[in-house]
Structure 1
Amino acid sequence: MADKIDDILSSWRAGRNALLYGPPATGKTRLISELFTALNKPPEAHHGILLDVADAEKPFSRPEQEITIPQPIKVVWTTFHQSYGYEDFVLGLRPEITSQGARLQPWAGIYLDAALELADTDSEYKSVVIFIDEINRGNAARIFGEFMTFLDFDYRDGGSVPLPLPLRQLTYEEGQSEEIRRPGGRTSRIPEGFTFPRHVYIVSTMNSVDRAAVPIDSALARRFDRIEMRPDLHVLALHWDIDETAIPTPTEDNWEALGPFETAYLLLDRLNVAIASGLGPEFELGHGLLTPVLARRTADDGTLQPAEEKDAWRSLAKTWDDVLFPQLEDRYSGRPEQLLDLLHVDTSPTTGGYAWTLRTAKGGTVETRALAPVRVSELDIDVIKRSFRWLTR
């Protein structure tokens, strides 16, 4: 995660915004959550060493991770969704009843409020960072509107071509806008010719698989540095405390001896290779989908102990039923033969039970190429082991 945080900070230092892009469960939201915390309390860097000769027990330590934007930093979190609009993010007009009657009162959205925060001489903040989760769940082009221009740092204060804010919804008098309401009960006015402050930064996440999401257009996408978040088997190896170098390649001679975590590791690897080859790498399965597989249990004395092997197999089967297989069904919707091939339905083990079979009619007169419904976690433990081990091949 630390190297990805460095990538985001490097983008900001270069006057760019950052977009974390990848399949679900690859750690995008977790990463920006860690960055959210790091901006308030910087963690240890993974480069450099500090020496404290006065500390005999621990003379060496890591320095804090360098935050490369002006501090103190105000951090704001939002999530785009289908009903999220320009009025929430930039500027909205809300009806207000006064003694003179009803009027439309301007209210600053998150993006405009960030600019007003840095323009406020009484503010303690030098930078504002806006975290946008699921940027493609809303109509991002409409949400940003004409303020899409100010994603480009060249058009901000101090840039090569600074442009004034185009807020035609406001009325101006004697060089000042009407009063704008802001979060927290504050108000501000904008002078004519006001330019967008430089130190407003955005980091956002985007799901590469979600078909219900709205693709972001090229004008918006080119204003972000795209940081790809891919499935990472190494994260699973650390989570399960297994040695990746000791995981064997499944063969005819050793596949029946694979343990539950070796099997889960190899299973995700094989599934993603097949998915990348047939559908594209953006449809791969994130490693986070398998982290629920039980690796440790709490003993009676409160200590963490390795899970029983049988419990780990059952947990893998339940994770498959509840999490992994629904993702496969979604990706292979309309491609039943590819799913059957992925599950080795036509090439199952020659002996013993197997979880995935073809559906049959009770009368036996109808030929079908449909997968028989099954809850793998409810099968005999030997069938569970054999089935998942076979899938790694």
Structure 2
Amino acid sequence: MGQATAMPTEADISPDARAVLKALATRKNVIITGPPGTGKSRLLNEVRELFQWKQGATGSAPTGRIPIPATSGPIPSWFPSPDQDVTRAVFQTVFDQNTKYRDFMRGLVPKVGEAGAFMVTSGTLYRAAVHARHDGNTALVLVDEINRGPAVAAFGSALVGLEPDKRLPTDGTATETTQFFEILGDGGEHESFALPHDLYILAAMNEADTSVEPLDVAFLRRFHLHRLEPQANVLREHLGLDPTPSPLPETPSGAEDYYEALAQAFTKINDQVLLGRGQAYQLGHGALMHASAGSDVGAAQEYVATAWATIRGHIDEVFYGNTRAVSDVLRAENSNSVYSLEESTFAGQTVRRISGPLRPTSEELYKLLALIATE
């Protein structure tokens, strides 16, 4: 737990967190999406802390530029449910391949130690909805990795009541547009249920993850999408570089040259990934912010080597099976590259492979990054 040295106000809220909170206030349901390393988890954490608006409290600042959640003044009028200030609770879960409707809403599970006996579960969304039904309460449900599990099945019948006009008003009196759906009651009987007005859902997903299926359109249209993009300026600031790129010398003379080559190559590689695979497959700046950037040459060389391992792994993944594309990114057909593209024939077909160092030396790596950055 960190100690609050100052009382953050509205001015301390990042632009992304402000945009997400405003979208939650009007749309109720928001999904943060973007390439890996663009700060989706950081933004989830920031919104989680801000949503609770803990007056005068001290709290954690997990990573990055997350304000310590001590707050001052009334809840801003543009916040989700600004008048609901009795208990502003957050309920958090992560979807995986085994997530079921009973984990998120309600279902039957065996009672431990009682053969043949069952109990009704109270899942994350259901508990949050019950909390938000009480006067003065509001609830935020955080779902990380929402597309890693069967999201449509997990929400189940609750999908029909997600949209703002389908919710119960704050006073709990149903309108002609309120959408009820059936769930299991505490005794196992079926009962009608509607999601409350002061319930919000914020999720995050990596839409380029090749191990998961895309979410269907009917599901996504119930959410506002807030997209995050790679930001080279954030990486440059982390590396202690000026906002404007500087020319790269043929031979590095200090730590700054290594960092400059890394930052410029990062931008060029993302440009090629954008052309070859699309927006969602880029690499986020956060993936290369794995440690503090040391000021001596040895520390810079080690930092850049670790960053390159991340970059190379990403290149191989997004262009899997496309040796020609990997070759273009690595400049393997340029005589100055440390890699080369070799072609041979196998079973009557042309086979291509890239040869070169598995772990380039510091000199080789600087040469390669500078080539990628300037060619």
Count the aligned residue pairs: 331
Q: Partner amino acid for 2:297?
A: E
RMSD: 3.0
1:274 counterpart residue number: 272
Cα distance in structure 2, aligned partners of 1:23 and 1:333 = 17
Partner residue, 1:5: 17
Q: Quick check: 1:132 aligned with 2:146?
A: no
Aligned to 2:121: 107
8 Å CA contact 2:133, 2:198 repeated in 1: no
SS in 2 for 1:208: coil
Counterpart residue number, 2:201: 202
Q: How far, CA to CA, are the matches of 1:3 and 1:221 in structure 2?
A: 23
Counterpart Cα distance in 1 of 2:176 and 2:331? 59
1:358 Cα deviation (Å)? 4.0
* TM-score normalised per structure 1: 0.76
Equivalent position of 1:343 in the other structure: 330
Task: Write out per-residue CA displacement over residues 250-271 of structure 1, whole angstroms, 9 at most, x where no aligned residue.
Answer: 6xxx565681121111111100
Matched, 1:315 2:289: no
Q: Distance in 1 between matches of 2:292 and 2:140?
A: 37
What aligned pairs does 1:43-82 form with structure 2 within 5 A after superposition?
66=76, 67-69=79-81, 70-71=84-85, 72-82=87-97
5 Å-filtered alignment, 1:171-320, equals: 177-179=185-187, 193-245=192-244, 247-248=245-246, 254=249, 256=251, 259-292=257-290, 294-296=292-294, 307-320=295-308
Q: Which residue number corresponds to residue 370 of structure 2?
A: 389
| Distance 1:128-1:63 versus aligned 2 partners, 3 A rule | closer
1:240: Cα distance to partner? Answer: 1.7
Do the aligned partners of residues 63 and 291 (structure 1) sit closer, same or farther apart at CA in structure 2, a change above 3 Å counting?
Answer: farther
The SS at the match of 1:383 is helix
Structure 2 residue ranges without an equivalent (≥5): 1-12, 57-70, 170-174, 345-349
* Alpha-carbon spacing, 1:42–1:272, altered in 2? closer, same or farther (3 Å): farther
5+ residue gaps, structure 1: 45-60, 171-176, 181-188, 297-306, 362-366
Aligned residue among 29, 33, 39 for 2:51:
39
Contact 2:109 2:118 in 1 (8 A): yes
> Matched residues in 1 for 2:219 and 2:98: separation?
19
CA distance in 2 between partners of 1:221 and 1:212 (Å): 19
SS of the counterpart of 2:208?
coil
The answer to whether the 8 A contact 2:237-2:243 is kept is no
Deviation of 1:89 (Å): 0.4
Q: Which segments of structure 1 move beyond 6 Å, counting only runs of 4 or more?
A: 61-65
Paired letter, 2:214: P
Whole-angstrom distance in 1 between the partners of 2:176 and 2:22? 20
Give the Cα–Cα distance (whole angstroms) in 1 for the partners of residues 72 and 134 of structure 2. 36
1:294–1:311 CA contact under 8 A, matched in 2: no
The letter of the residue matching 1:389 is: A
Structure index of larger Rg: 1
Would the aligned equivalents of 1:293 and 1:319 in 2 still touch at CA under 8 Å?
A: no
Task: Identify if the C-alpha distance between structure 1 residues 119 and 318 changes in structure 2 by more than 3 Å, giving closer, same or farther.
Answer: closer
